[in-house]
Amino acid sequence: MLPILKSFLDMLEAEKGYSKHTIVAYKNDINDYINYLHERDSKVEMTDELFLELIRQDYKNIARDYIAHIASSGIKKSSISRKLSALKSFFNNLVRGGVIELNPADRVPMPKSPRKIPDFLTVDDIFFLLDSIEADSLFGKRNLAIIETFYSTGMRISEMAALNFDDIDFDRRFIKILSGKGGKDRVVPVGERALNAILQYRYTLGHRFTPLFLNKNLTRLTDRSMRRILEKIVNDCSLKMHVSPHTLRHSFATHMLDAGADLRGIQEILGHANLSTTQIYTHVTIDKLMEVYDKAHPRS
């Protein structure tokens, strides 16, 4: 990794508070661009000096040609947008540091793509999923507590994995979350069923541990392990669709909107920086809206 890239990644962690997953994504996307320049324009070892020289030599086309190159490979527009966004941020950092005068990626427009409406489960599907979990054993109780908490709070999987037992206020029914995006704390409500499932799990565990959810070695359960747990639960109950932790997050937001929750409130609970991110859930509730319209309007 070039020192100039490492410096940028260190800034993202120290100043922006980005999660490890986000930083790795930036690293991979920008490294892809650096490797493209190296293969196209040089056969010698890439250095900071050579990288900056290549940029200055072909300022007008250096980013545009790369985006055209990866677009021709057939990757998704969303992936192109992510890679271009990473480049724009990287170059902006170099401009702020006085390393280069202009950002060459500013000349490249973001590809337009329709916003994907997120998948979500119906309320009946959620109840079927939860009822299928056998909570007779310690880890059965743990798995039920995990899925109940996912659906009750709509939090991200990285946030779930980072939870500690002391983050939960059982009396006031709140959970304090340190977000993986930007490192901002927020407090979200949590339902009684999720709290009871957590207490049942921890009571059976019988020992005081700081992490909320533990693996068989009694250390913190990782988000990867949580994904595997959810995948197994879905496969075991024969639910006929792909269900990810994000599906549960989408289901939480959709069901809250269907029940009349305020969009701003959902934005706060989900930890979205912009309301426009939360507004995508208004699209997935259109069927509910049409159902109400058909029943209520005299000329429908």
Nearest Cα neighbor of 105 from 50, 68, 73 is 68
Residue with tokens 């490192």: 183
Judge whether residue 37 has pLDDT over 80: yes
Can you give the pLDDT at residue 279? 64
Q: For residue 271, what pLDDT band results from cuts at 50, 70 and 90?
A: confident
Q: Averaging pLDDT over each range in 52-56, 99-103, 209-213, which range is the top one?
A: 209-213
Q: 60-84 pLDDT, tens per residue?
A: 788 888 888 888 888 888 888 889 9
Residue 112 per-residue DSSP state:
P
Residue 283: active-site member: no
141-156 tens-digit pLDDT: 999 999 999 999 988 8
Which candidate in 141, 249, 250, 255 is catalytic?
Answer: 249
Catalytic, 181? Answer yes
Per-residue pLDDT at 297 exceeds 60? no
Kindly report which listed range (71-80, 188-197, 253-262) carries the lowest average pLDDT score: 253-262
Around Cβ 195, how many Cβ atoms within 10 Å?
19
192 falls in which pLDDT band (50, 70, 90)? very high
Q: Which helix H or strand E contains 176, and what residues bound it? A: strand 174-178
On the question of pLDDT at 119 being above 80, the answer is no
Work out the percent of the chain whose per-residue pLDDT is above 70. Answer: 86
Catalytic residue from among 156, 202, 250, 255: 156
The residues facing 189 across adjacent strands are: 174
Burial class (CB in 10 A: 0-12, 13-18, 19+), 28: exposed
DSSP-derived letter for residue 115 is P
**Which listed residue (33, 66, 151, 281) is catalytic?**
281
Of 181, 186, 193, 227, which residue is the catalytic one?
181
Say whether 250 is catalytic: no
Span 283-293, pLDDT tens digits? 555 555 566 56
Highest average pLDDT, of 47-61, 132-146, 285-299, comes from: 132-146
Active-site choice (88, 173, 227, 272): 272
Other C-beta atoms closer than 10 Å to the C-beta of 273 total: 12
Which CATH code fits 3-107?
1.10.150.130
Task: Note if 246 is an active site residue.
Answer: yes
Q: Is 43 a residue of the active site? A: no
Total-model pTM: 0.60
- Active-site residue among 38, 82, 246, 288? 246
Annotated catalytic residue 240: no
For residues 174 and 190, give the distance between their C-alpha atoms in angstroms, rounded to a whole number: 6
Which range (81-90, 108-117, 205-214) has the least confidence? 108-117
pLDDT of residue 78: 80
CATH T-level topology, domain 123-293: hpI Integrase; Chain A (1.10.443)
Higher pLDDT, 107 or 202: 202
Boundaries of every domain in the chain: 3-107, 123-293
128: Cα within 13 Å, side-chain hemisphere: 14
pLDDT of residue 164: 94
pLDDT grade for 300, boundaries at 50, 70 and 90: very low
Distances (CA, A) of 118 to 68, 113, 221, 246: 28, 15, 26, 9
- Token couple for 214: 């533990």
